[in-house]
């Protein structure tokens, strides 16, 4: 299968990755969450080639994850900002950072920490069940085929 066919798969993870699963896309989004909005700033901070950066930004705008907003006229200059759809990737980014903090950090610990504005504390993201509010791990989950997808259950589950 070609990578470009991933979005046709009957799998939400594959479809999500068809948008954000690229090598560079997630680090672009990380900087977007930090407030970096301009082409040149992204290029400098990421060390990405202009070619690839332009391509990824274009695709993220096409997918509705970022949008271009003018910040000056004459000449028109535009910056890239997260849409609501893009902002909703925050749990993914938090989860990746948290895993990196736990498993890839050196002796200096986490380079960046998250402070929860409401409670004022340095926080880690915890994933809980939307029904009972209890923390969930891989062991606590059973996977089932969605109601509209029963016919494909052999393909969806091993």
Partner DNA sequence: ATGCTGGGTTCCTTTTTGGAACCTGTCAAG
Partner DNA sequence: CTTGACAGGTTCCAAAAAGGAACCCAGCAT
User: Taking CB under 8 A as the criterion, which residues in 97-136 touch a copy of itself?
Assistant: 97-105, 108-119, 121-134, 136
Three-state secondary structure call for residue 69: strand
| Cβ-defined contacts of 88-91 (< 8 Å, 24+) | 89/20, 89/29, 89/65, 90/33, 91/125, 91/127
* Distances in whole angstroms, Cα of residue 1 to Cα of each of 8, 13, 28, 116, 153: 11, 16, 26, 42, 20
Residue 57 interacting partner from a copy of itself, DNA, none (CB closer than 5 to 8 Å by kind):
DNA
Size of the residue set binding a copy of itself (CB under 8 A): 96
List, in sequence order, every residue forming a beta bridge with 135; answer none if it has no partner: 128
Residue 143 CB, nearest approach to DNA (Å): 22
Contact residues for DNA (CB under 7 A)? 1-4, 22-24, 38-41, 48-52, 54-55, 57-58, 74-75, 77-79
Residue 8 binding partner per list DNA, a copy of itself, none, with a CB distance cut-off of 5 to 8 Å that depends on partner kind: none
61 binds a copy of itself (CB under 8 A): no
Binding test (CB under 8 A) with a copy of itself, winner from 58, 62, 77, 95: 95
Of 58 and 116, nearer to DNA (C-beta) is 58
Contact status: 54 vs a copy of itself (CB under 8 A): no
**DSSP classification of residue 79:** E
Query: Smaller CB distance to DNA: residue 74 or 139?
Result: 74
The residue (of 75 and 129) whose beta carbon lies closer to a copy of itself is 129
Closest residue by Cα to residue 64 from 85, 79, 42, 89: 85
- Cis amide prior to 58 (ω within 30 degrees): no
> Of the two residues 58 and 99, which places its CB atom closer to a copy of itself in the complex?
99
Residues 6+ apart with CB under 8 A from 21: 6
**DSSP assignment letter at 9:** S
């Amino acid at each position: 299968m070609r990578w470009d066919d991933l979005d046709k798969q009957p799998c939400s993870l594959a479809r999500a990755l068809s948008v954000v699963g690229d090598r560079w896309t997630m680090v672009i989004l990380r900087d977007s969450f930090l407030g970096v909005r301009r082409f040149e700033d992204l290029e400098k901070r990421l060390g990405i080639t202009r070619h690839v950066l332009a391509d990824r930004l274009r695709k993220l705008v096409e997918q509705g994850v970022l949008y271009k907003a003018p910040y000056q006229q004459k000449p028109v200059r535009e910056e890239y900002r997260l849409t609501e759809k893009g902002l909703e990737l925050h749990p993914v980014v938090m989860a990746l950072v948290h895993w990196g903090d736990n498993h890839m950090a050196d002796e200096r610990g986490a380079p960046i920490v998250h402070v929860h504005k409401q409670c004022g504390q340095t926080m880690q993201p915890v994933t809980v069940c939307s029904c009972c509010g209890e923390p969930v791990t891989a062991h606590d989950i059973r996977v089932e085929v969605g109601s509209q997808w029963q016919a494909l259950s052999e393909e969806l589950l091993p």
